[in-house]
Amino acid sequence: MAKLSIQGLSKTYPNGVKALNDVSLEIENGMFGLLGPNGAGKSSLMRTLATLQEADSGTVIMDEIDILNQPYEVRKILGYLPQEFGVYPRVTAEQLLDHMAVLKGIGNKKERKELVHYLLQKVNLYDKRNKNVKGFSGGMKQRIGIAQALIGSPRLIIVDEPTAGLDPGERNRFHNLLADVGDEVIVILSTHIVADVVELCSEMAIMNLGQVVYKGTPANALKELEGKVWMKVIERNQVEDYKTNFQVISDKMVGGRPQIHVLSETNPGDGFAAVNPNLEDAFFTKIESSTHA
């Protein structure tokens, strides 16, 4: 079983921003969700794990490899899909994957071709293999991105904000693809989209302001809020008043009117109804409490 151990990881950028503040996580096989708002430190952590930036302090061990001190060893077992997966102009899908396979050390041309065709079929792009990747839709580019991340049988796969900007159909296809990958390896899915974690991950962490503010299962995060979340549909001009008088953890439009969720140990009255907490409630509660800690 693969195991990734992160201990006391910290990183401060030259402009004084503390991107990582004593981050510690233990991650094992399967899909692990890393959830947090923009600027929480998720991408800084992903870039550090992918050996693209150094940490100021801490240790990261992947099985027997010291990630911070053995970057070349890590890259042999790493698959990485960054937030922005750039592609060369005038390069076909097959050429791109063949090039990446060469970079991953697969020298045998026949072996490379078989692997590239296998991956193109896996991501449902075999019939587009001779098309320029530059002209692909966002979802197709993401699928090529995950295909290149699978080259070389990686033991650690990192995907950073993979579904941002995808339409619902592409997002579902991408989810199915990731779910197929996640059994024998560690897949870290970094996202600010709560639904991605709900649908894919058995373990998760929530980050805010460079720190881990929750680590556990999505189910346990919900259990902590049982009996404490209350819902009410209000008028649009009432939102600020309710935010002043109640601990509002989320508000969203439903049928043109705001539906608010508030956190309270007891029924706040005033027409509120009990509601089963969802992961979005847990996410916003953790973020809110850590921001004002």
Left if phi > 0, otherwise alpha if psi is -120 to 50, otherwise beta: which for 129? alpha
The candidate with the shortest Cα–Cα distance to 250, out of 229, 204, 281, is 281
* CA dist., res. 286 & res. 293, Å (int): 10
Task: Map tokens 């058995």 to a residue.
Answer: 202
Per-residue model confidence as pLDDT tens for the chain (293 residues): 789 999 999 999 999 999 999 999 999 999 999 999 888 999 899 999 999 999 999 999 999 999 999 999 999 899 998 877 777 778 999 999 999 999 888 989 999 999 999 999 988 899 999 999 989 988 888 889 889 998 988 999 999 888 877 788 888 888 888 887 767 799 999 988 888 898 889 999 999 999 999 999 999 999 999 999 999 999 999 999 999 999 999 989 989 999 999 999 999 988 999 999 999 999 999 998 887 75
Per-residue exposure over 178-216, b if at least 16 CB sit within 10 Å of its own CB, e if not: beebbeebbbbbbbbbbebbbbbbebbbbbbbbbbbbbe
The candidate with the shortest Cα–Cα distance to 141, out of 190, 90, 84, 193, is 84
* CA dist., res. 245 & res. 247, Å (int): 7
- Helix, strand and coil content of the chain, in percent to the nearest 5, comes to 35, 30, 35
pTM of this prediction exceeds 0.95? no
Structure tokens at 242: 């309710």
